[in-house]
Amino acid sequence: MLIVMRTDAAASDIERVLNTIHSMGYTGHELAGSTRVAIAVTGNDGAIDPAHFENLPGVAKTIRVTQPYKLASRNGSNIRPAVKVGTSEIGGGSFAMIAGPCAIEEREQVMAAAEAVSRSGAAFFRGGAFKPRTSPYAFQGLGLDGLKLLAEVRDRYGLNIITEAMDEHGVDAVIKYADCIQIGARNMQNFSLLKYVGASDKPVLLKRGLSATLEEFLLAAEYVMSVGNAKVILCERGIRTFGNHARNTLDLSIVPAVQRVSHLPIIVDPSHGTGHNYMVTPLARAAAAVGADGLIVEVHPHPERALCDGAQALTTDQFLDLARQLTTLLRALGPDAVAASTSSMSEQ
Ligand code: PEP
Ligand code: MN
C-alpha cells in the first residue's frame, strides 16, 4: 500500500502514520516528492485495509498495491493453466464450447439438443435441473430426474456435464451426476455455498453476479479456492446497466481484465448476456475474438416451446452454424488469440 500525505501534512502526521505501520508489524518507507510525502508499506503478506490510515490527520489518500485475492491472482506467473472438467479441459489455450438447453425439460428435448451439441464437436453439455427462477410460479426444473437425464447424455454422447446447484443439497446431487458444478449469478455471493463447493473436488463454473465488480467476482472465486478447490472457471454473463435493448449488458471488457490479473479461465455466456436469439451469434463471435477461453450457449430444439429462456435459445441449426463460424474465426485468429492478453501481460 502507498499512503499519500497531504501537501500541508505536519511532520508529526508523517510520524503518526509511520508508527501505525510499525505497530502493525510492517515497515514504512518515506518517499519525499517535490510537494508532498508518500509512504510505502512493505512486509505485509496480503492486502492492508485502507481504513487503518484513511482517517489519520494529514493523509490525502491510500493506494492499494496488493490485490485482496491471492489464490485467484496470477502471482506474477505467465501461466494460465487449464482446468480439467470430466474428460476434457477448459482454459490453457484451447477454446471450450459448452452448450445445451437452459432447463432440462424432457428426454426428447434433451437428447435432440445433445445430439446437435455432440455433432458440433463441442465437449461440454449444459442444462439446468435446478432452476433459479425470478417467479416462484415459473418452472423450477426437474430436479433429480433432470440430473439422471444429464447422466444419460454423458453415457450416450460422451459429453461432459455442467449443471447448476442452488444449495447444499443440490451440490450433493450434482456431484453424483455431473462433471462440473455451476454456481449461478444470483448465488455468486452466497458465501456458505461457495465454501461448500470449495470443499468438494469437482470443478466449479462460477458465473458473475448481476452487478459484481471484477474484484467481487475474483473474491467469490477466492472463497471456493480458499477451502481447497482450485478448479474454478469464471463466466461473464452480462450485468445490469441502464441499457434496456438487451436482457443484460455483456461486459466483454472483463475478459482481458480478468486475464491480466488472474490465472483462472474465463468463458462468456452470450445467451444470458443478451437475452435475444438474434444477438447470441454476433456476441459469441465477439467473445471468441476478445480472447475468451470458451463459451456457454443455450440451445433448444424448439425454442418456441421452451419452459425457460426460449427467447435467447439458438435452434440446433443456428447452433451448428455458430460452431462452424467459430471454427473459421478461431483458425483465422490463430493459436495466440485465446487469452491473447496473456502474452502482453504486465505484472499487476
Ligand atoms: C443459466 O445458466 O441457466 C442461468 C440461470 O444463468 P445465470 O445464473 O447467469 O442467470
Ligand atoms: Mn437460462
Residue nearest atom 1 of ligand 1, based on CA coordinates: 102
Rounded to the nearest whole angstrom, what is the distance from the C-alpha of residue 298 to the centroid of ligand 2? 7
| Cell reading at 10 | 505536519
Ligand with smallest separation from the Cα of 310: 2
Q: 184 in ligand 1 pocket by Cβ < 6 Å?
A: yes
Q: Which residues pair with 303 in a beta bridge?
A: none
Which pTM was predicted?
0.92
Pocket of ligand 1 contains residue 86 by CB under 6 Å: no
Model pLDDT, residue 338: 61
Q: Which of 164, 236, 295 to mutate to test the pocket of ligand 1 (most atoms within 8 A of CB)?
A: 164
Helix (H) or strand (E) holding 224: helix 214-226
Q: Which domains does the chain have, with CATH numbers?
A: 2-63 (3.30.70.1140), 83-344 (3.20.20.70)
> What are the φ and ψ backbone dihedral angles of 318, each rounded to 5 degrees?
-65, -40
Pocket test for ligand 1, best of 272, 280, 309 (most atoms within 8 A of CB): 272
Confirm or reject: Cβ of 300 under 6 Å from ligand 1. Answer: no
Q: How far apart (Å, rounded) are the C-alpha atoms in residues 225 and 204?
A: 10
Query: 53 CA distance to ligand 2 centroid (A)?
Result: 45
Number of H helices, E strands in the chain: 11, 14
313 C-alpha vs ligand 2 centroid, how far in Å? 8
Q: Which residues of the chain have pLDDT under 50?
A: 340-348
CA 275 to chain centre: 18
pLDDT tens-place string over residues 114-163: 999 999 999 999 999 999 999 999 999 999 999 999 999 999 999 999 99
